[in-house]
Chains A and B, each alone.
Chain A
């Protein structure tokens, strides 16, 4: 049975690449975490789903013949480029904001925690959502490099070598960014609510 998070077979055949069962399994496993990562970066569910889907398709169509251990750094490298593209596009749109109006013009994006506060649900779920919101806000306060290093190392469990390949930086740089991210997150989260994290 095809996994719900695997790539749709129609899209895979369109990409003209034989998606092996191992690659399908990898796509299914990585999609949830990658979407989480894209959400933190983009704050837009549709855009996050799009970049993850695009990245998976590119991995399947261009790199399906690469050894399995190369897939994670390749995929995250592609995802990182896609996220950068979206940021660039938004920056370009901002340049032309003088000629366009939207409701968000004068409003700062809401924090994840404030979104969690408005979410309805059972008390336990609400508490979990608030905690996730606080963590996402703390992650948003990190520098992009620190955030990437943290997410790739901790959420994805990539090795230092693979993280360096995905981020296109040196291994020393990965270690430093990861260390600084951990320190900053402790400061941000433990100072706020030390008992909860």
Chain B
């Protein structure tokens, strides 16, 4: 590229950001020595930064962040919903943990059987002769 032909803004930006190949960078550097137009193009980002100088004055006109106030009806509604949910959990908890006939599901089969037939076992404890009789006639298999 001759010194008369200007580089495109894309090429200048590539050089400015450090992404240009060594060959392109050398060409641009040679060209920049004699071309005020491309020098100005190279300073595009710098110029923008300098033009931001009035920003603090503009910031003085920014709307202030408004104070936040509590929306009590929503807080109350959320509180009621939480309490209702907690109550529902507490009430339904025994139904979830209980198995058939109100027997807790985590008991061994023998204990579950004893709990379910507690009346029979009470009667059996009062009539030990029936237990002996039952053992004598028990099926050996």
Interface residues of chain B, those whose CB is within 8 Å of chain A, are: 9-10, 13-14, 16-19, 44-49, 51-63, 65-71, 74-75, 78
Contact = CB atoms under 8 A, between A and B. Distances in A.
Nearest to B63: A110
B51 A182 contact: no
Contacts, number: 124
Contacts of A174: 18
Interface of A: 32, 35-36, 39-40, 43-45, 48, 93, 98-104, 110, 112, 115-116, 118-119, 125, 128-129, 131-133, 135-136, 150-151, 153-155, 160, 171, 174-176, 178-179, 181-183, 185-186, 189, 197
A129 B53 CA distance: 9
A129 B57 contact: yes
A76 B126 CA distance: 88
Contacts of A43: 59, 62
Given A45-B59, A101-B68, A160 B18 contact: yes
B53 to A, nearest CB: 7
Given A183-B10, A183-B13, A36 B56 contact: yes
Contact of B59 (A48, A128, A153): A48
Given A44-B65, A100-B68, A197 B14 contact: no
A128 B54 contact: yes
Closest 6 CB pairs of A and B: A154-B45, A155-B49, A179-B17, A178-B17, A100-B68, A182-B13
Contacts of B19: 175-176, 179
Given A43-B62, A153-B45, A36 B69 contact: no
B53 A132 contact: yes
Nearest to B75: A99
A197 B60 contact: no
Given A43-B62, A45-B60, A115-B61, A131 B51 contact: yes
Contacts of A132: 51-55, 58
B60 A98 contact: no
A102 B51 contact: no
A136 B75 contact: no
Given A115-B61, A186-B9, A102 B69 contact: yes
Given A100-B71, A102-B67, 7 more contacts: A36-B53, A99-B70, A100-B68, A102-B69, A125-B54, A178-B18, A179-B14
A173 to B, nearest CB: 11
Given A100-B69, A115-B62, A35 B48 contact: no
Given A99-B75, A104-B63, A178-B17, A135 B69 contact: no
A116 B58 contact: yes
